[in-house]
Amino acid sequence: MRRSLTLLATGAALSLSAIPFAVNAAGGGGGGGGFSGSPSQSAPRYDASAEYQKGRTALQAKDYKKAIKAFKRSLSVASKNANAQYLLGFSYMKLDNHKKAKKPLEKAVKLSPGLIDAHRDLAITYHKLGNTEKANSTLGKLTAKQNACGDSCAEKAQLNAAVAAVQSTMGGNEQASLQLPQSFGLVDGQTSDAVYLSAVSLINEGQYEAALLELDEAGKTFGPHPDVLTYIGFANRKMKRFDIAEEYYQRALTVAPNHLGAIEYYGELKIERGDLAGAQQHLVRLEKLCAFGCYEAEELRRWITEAQSS
């Protein structure tokens, strides 16, 4: 359910000194730093969301080499992020390096089959590389989506444009300008901020499907942000999609190992699956991280106590 997202431009100035609310609120620690000092982690470790946003900024400035560097750094931490894979491929395309664009675009469509832009650009890339068979196959997937969509689905315009772009390129016309879609926030980056807040509110209202749509949009701007990933996990868990929930909690903890919200919710998931001992381990971890106490530990402790008494 898409709410009004007309934003007041004055908000940004007011928020300049706001500190990591979301760190404590949604994530209770955000990244939180504090990576352990094991040998495997002695190599540079990047903030996946920050690097993703650097990449977006570089794309906006048409600095594609810088964008590639940033997306690679983001992916070095969060390799399963379809948006980062897509934008890496897109950046290579802007440099006419279709050979290098292919792999990240393939990963993007595999990780996120609904990412229409990635399908479009992958088809174009195959065509540029002379792989007509794969180009046609990918175009076929797009047209299948288009046909399934019919006249009323939300992605109709996007699908039509994507199919037209691929057909035009395969027909010998160079695409006039390879533009990144607005949904990736390059034009209206602030919309995603509102979408994120809206998503959390929708979760509180129990509208999980609607929340997931908004979190997906927010993820296009923020990339593999632990708060976004955690709430995707949370919404899926509330819909009893436990495997997907676990996957996203793990992704959140990959980019931010000390993310309090992810540790708490993952612990709650373990209780729902009957793994009380696993949940206890999460509580121990939270207690260690929260030297001054925290709500996440309080909540998980309550869940464990209730599970023990039931």
Partner 1 sequence: MDHRGTKLLTFAALTLAVTAASAAPKENRGLSALAWLEPRGALQALSNEPDRRLHVRSSENPAATDDPGSTKRRWQQISAGEILFHTPILLGGQAAKAGISCASCHVNGRDNAHFQFPGVSHDPGTADVTHSFFSSFRGDDHFNPVSIPDLTRPGKISHENPEELEKFIRGLIVEEFDGQEPGNAALTALAAYVRALRPCDGCSPRPLIMTTHLGRVKQALSAAVQIEASEQRLSHLLIGGARTQLSLIHERYADKKLARERTAITKLSVDLATLQDNIGVRSARYYQLHRKATDQIQALRKLLADSESRSLYNPERLEAYLEKHAIRQRPTH
Q: Which is nearer to partner 1, 47 or 106 (CB)?
A: 47
Distance between CA atoms of 79 and 85, rounded to whole angstroms? 8
Asked whether the beta carbons of 28 and 260 are under 8 A apart, the reply is yes
14 touching partner 1, by CB under 8 A: yes
The answer to whether residue 258 forms part of the interface with partner 1 (CB under 8 A) is: yes
Report if residue 59 touches partner 1, rule: CB under 8 A: no
CA 147 to chain centre: 27
Residues listed for the chain: 310
185: left (phi over 0), alpha (psi -120 to 50) or beta: left
Number of H helices, E strands in the chain: 16, 0
- Comparing C-alpha atoms, which of 59, 15, 1 is closest to residue 193? 15
Q: Are 237 and 203 in contact (CB under 8 A)?
A: no
Q: Is 42 in the site for partner 1 (CB under 8 A)?
A: no
Among 197, 213, 276, 307, binds partner 1 (CB under 8 A): 197
Other beta carbons within 10 angstroms of residue 102's beta carbon come to 21
State how far the Cα of 50 lies from the Cα of 31, in Å rounded to an integer: 11
What residues numbered 110-129 form the site for partner 1, per CB under 8 A?
A: none
CA-nearest of 18, 23, 20, 17 to 294 is 23
Q: Which of 31-39, 133-141, 235-243, 269-277 is the region at the interface with partner 1 (rule: CB under 8 A)? A: 31-39
Considering only residues 200, 212, 245, 253, which one is a binding residue for partner 1 as defined by CB under 8 A?
Answer: 200
Backbone angles phi, psi at 275, to 5 degrees: -95, 75
Options 55, 104, 224, 261; binder of partner 1; rule CB under 8 A: 261
Report the distance separating Cα 101 and Cα 93, nearest Å.
Answer: 6
* Segment contacting partner 1 by CB under 8 A, of 66-74, 96-104, 146-154, 288-296: 288-296
Angle, helices 208-222 vs 189-204, to 10°: value is: 150
Q: At its nearest, how many Å lie between partner 1 and the CB of residue 301?
A: 10
- Contact call for residue 284 and partner 1 (CB under 8 A): no
Q: Report if residue 23 touches partner 1, rule: CB under 8 A.
A: yes
Q: Is residue 204 involved in binding partner 1 (CB under 8 A)?
A: yes
Stretch 214-243 residues interacting with partner 1 (CB under 8 A): 222, 225-227
Of 88-96, 112-120, 128-136, 287-295, the window that binds partner 1 (rule: CB under 8 A) is 287-295
Pull the structure tokens for residue 38. 């094991």
Among 86, 92, 126, 196, binds partner 1 (CB under 8 A): 196
Minimal distance, residue 104 CB to partner 1, in Å: 22
Residues that bind partner 1 (CB under 8 A): 3-9, 11-12, 14-28, 30-34, 47, 49-50, 53, 56-57, 60, 189-191, 193-194, 196-198, 200-202, 204-206, 222, 225-227, 256, 258, 260-261, 287, 291-296, 298, 302
